[in-house]
């Protein structure tokens, strides 16, 4: 099992425990279509939130929050402010509004 990672969440506006793909699949398993047919929606959300708490030790109460507490949705940290980019494809940092600099497009320094 991987170590849980804290990361800035743009929607929550604070650092939150984030799920890797294996952890996310364990939480999302409670919300698959076949489960929703068997049980009431609020019961499925309850089990998803319980699994999130088992993984992160954080008592989240909003089931929608769990869907955006997924590491793969975020990009790398901004080189200027350190906050994660909102998506892996971001061209602009949502925090400091500076453009994302690609190493292959930066001008090389003279030797």
Q: Which domain holds residue 44?
A: 5-72
In the numeric block, which tokens belong to residue 44? 């499925």
pLDDT tens track for 58-106 = 999 998 898 899 999 999 999 999 999 999 999 999 999 999 976 444 4
Pairing of strands 5-9, 14-18: antiparallel
Provide the domain count of the chain: 2
DSSP state of 58: -
Q: Are residue 14 and residue 68 in the same domain, yes or no?
A: yes
Q: Which of 83, 78, 61, 89 is nearest to 14 (CA)?
A: 83
Q: Are residue 34 and residue 83 in the same domain, yes or no?
A: no
Distance CA(53)–CA(72), nearest Å, equals 19
Q: Are residue 46 and residue 81 in the same domain, yes or no?
A: no
pLDDT tens track for 7-54 = 999 899 999 999 999 999 999 998 876 666 666 778 888 999 999 999
Q: Are residue 80 and residue 68 in the same domain, yes or no?
A: no
């Amino acid at each position: 099992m991987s170590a849980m990672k804290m990361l800035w969440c743009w929607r929550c506006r604070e650092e939150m425990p984030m799920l890797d793909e294996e952890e996310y699949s364990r939480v999302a398993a409670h919300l698959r279509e076949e489960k929703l047919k068997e049980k009431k929606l609020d019961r499925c959300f309850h089990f998803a939130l319980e699994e999130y708490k088992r993984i992160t030790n954080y008592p989240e109460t909003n089931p929608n929050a769990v869907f955006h507490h997924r590491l793969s949705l975020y990009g790398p940290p901004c080189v200027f402010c350190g906050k994660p980019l909102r998506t892996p494809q971001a061209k602009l940092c949502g925090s400091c509004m500076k453009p994302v600099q690609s190493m292959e497009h930066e001008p090389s320094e003279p030797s």
